[in-house]
């Protein structure tokens, strides 16, 4: 068994205070991965943060914060970011635990 490092100890302490802490960390990680993917797409398209911000009616510093994951982004902001890059975020409801329920894909109304 490997020794626990400082991060492991922090997670253990926070989990003792709030048993839902690991799920909160997991949700934050998923948001971070989505925002990193959007940042990568922006870079691949060779679009500046300033140009994307203007299209979103936002500021360059807001885009920088989104891309650095220094913020807990709202869903509407993530949707606008994706839209400006020519993408649409699709949502899935994934059952937790041992549920045999199938995932649910949330489709926009037509």
Model confidence, pTM:
0.78
Contact criterion met (CB below 8 Å) for 4 and 42? no
pLDDT at 26: 87
Output the CATH code of domain 6-106: 1.10.260.40
Q: Which residues of the chain have pLDDT under 70?
A: 1, 70-71, 110
Q: What are phi and psi of 104, to 5 degrees?
A: -115, 125
How do residues 42-66 score in pLDDT, each as one tens digit? 999 999 999 999 999 999 999 999 9
Q: Measured between alpha carbons, how far is 86 from 90 in angstroms, rounded to an integer?
A: 13
Taking the C-alpha atoms of 14, 18, 24 and 29 in order, what is their torsion angle to the nearest 10 degrees?
20
Contact criterion met (CB below 8 Å) for 34 and 78? yes
User: For the chain, what are the domain ranges?
Assistant: 6-106
pLDDT at 1: 61
Q: Measured between alpha carbons, how far is 71 from 57 in angstroms, rounded to an integer?
A: 18
pLDDT at 35: 93
């Amino acid at each position: 068994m490997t020794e626990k490092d400082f991060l492991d100890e922090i997670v253990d302490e926070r989990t003792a205070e709030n048993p839902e802490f690991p799920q909160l960390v997991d949700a934050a990680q998923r948001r971070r991965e989505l925002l990193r993917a959007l940042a990568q797409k922006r870079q691949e398209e060779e679009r500046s943060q300033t140009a994307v911000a203007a299209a979103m009616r936002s500021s360059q510093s807001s885009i920088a914060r989104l891309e650095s994951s220094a913020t807990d982004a709202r869903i509407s902001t993530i949707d606008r970011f994706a839209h400006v890059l020519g993408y649409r975020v699709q949502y899935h409801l994934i059952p937790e635990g041992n549920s045999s329920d199938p995932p649910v894909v949330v489709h926009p109304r037509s």
